[in-house]
A and B are shown apart, each in its own frame.
Chain A
Amino acid sequence: AQSVSQHNHHVILSEAASLELGCNYSYGGTVNLFWYVQYPGQHLQLLLKYFSGDPLVKGIKGFEAEFIKSKFSFNLRKPSVQWSDTAEYFCAVNAKEGGGYQKVTFGIGTKLQVIP
């Protein structure tokens, strides 16, 4: 079964600082990888996704993530965070189960607090 690990549960940064949130997964087959964001009081929104091709993917609001297959990692980055980036970030892995259907597994989430 697949699993997802997010290493940082709570991150506090000052505005303009650089961000990197770690995500590692365990699954031997083909996966799709996602980062979702949940702003305070709002529902989960897709930030970016990797399906195939260029392992460096760019998402909304200046976020990017790099898929490193050899490390089973999909870390999220942003060069300069803003106060409005304060939110909870979830890494997710999508893989095919034995019955041919897809199954999505989420990490525990990382709460990011950006201090003005």
Chain B
Amino acid sequence: EAEVAQSPRYKITEKSQAVAFWCDPISGHATLYWYRQILGQGPELLVQFQDESVVDDSQLPKDRFSAERLKGVDSTLKIQPAELGDSAMYLCASSLRTGSLETQYFGPGTRLLVL
């Protein structure tokens, strides 16, 4: 069964450093999502792509976070500089297409700890 791949699974960094996370969605899935899940809370959408275009980044802290999906397949989420409050699980999900309501499939996540 196809799965969403994410790497790394764990990342420890010091504040003010740069970090990057990678996501490879299920093959053929046009829509890709990045979520942040703080301990004890539900996932919050950071950014949503349709192919290579951003359709929603209203919750992305753009002063330090950036995301790209250059060829409309895999995606990278970057934080620069990292802050203590960025410690969380970063989840990637994909769905077949937008324009209709689809089921999302989640990857295993990257757990980030900022010291």
Whether the pair A103, B104 counts as a contact (CB closer than 8 A) is no
Whether the pair B99, A101 counts as a contact (CB closer than 8 A) is yes
B107 beta carbon closer than 8 Å to chain A = yes
Taking a contact as CB atoms closer than 8 A, the residue among B41, B48, B106 that contacts A103 in the complex is B48
B91 beta carbon closer than 8 Å to chain A = yes
> Beyond A99-B55, A107-B42, A108-B42, is A32–B106 a contact (Cβ under 8 Å)?
no
- Whole-angstrom distance between the alpha carbons of A33 and B41 in the complex? 18
- Residues of chain B within 8 A (CB-CB) of A104 are 33, 45, 104
Tell me the total A-B contact number using a CB cutoff of 8 A: 63
User: Which residues between 51 and 102 of chain B lie within 8 Å of chain A, taking CB atoms?
Assistant: 55-56, 91, 95, 98-102
A17 beta carbon closer than 8 Å to chain B = no
- Whole-angstrom distance between the alpha carbons of A18 and B100 in the complex? 35
Q: How far is the CB of B95 from chain A (nearest CB, A)?
A: 8
User: Which residues between 94 and 109 of chain A lie within 8 Å of chain B, taking CB atoms?
Assistant: 94-97, 99-109
Given contacts A43-B108, A108-B42, 16 further A-B contacts (CB under 8 A): A30-B101, A36-B106, A46-B103, A94-B101, A100-B98, A100-B99, A101-B31, A101-B55, A101-B99, A102-B95, A102-B101, A102-B102, A103-B45, A103-B56, A106-B42, A106-B44
Provide 10 A-B residue pairs closer than 8 Å at the C-beta atoms, listed in order of the A residue.
A44-B43, A45-B106, A46-B103, A94-B104, A99-B55, A100-B98, A102-B102, A103-B56, A104-B33, A108-B40
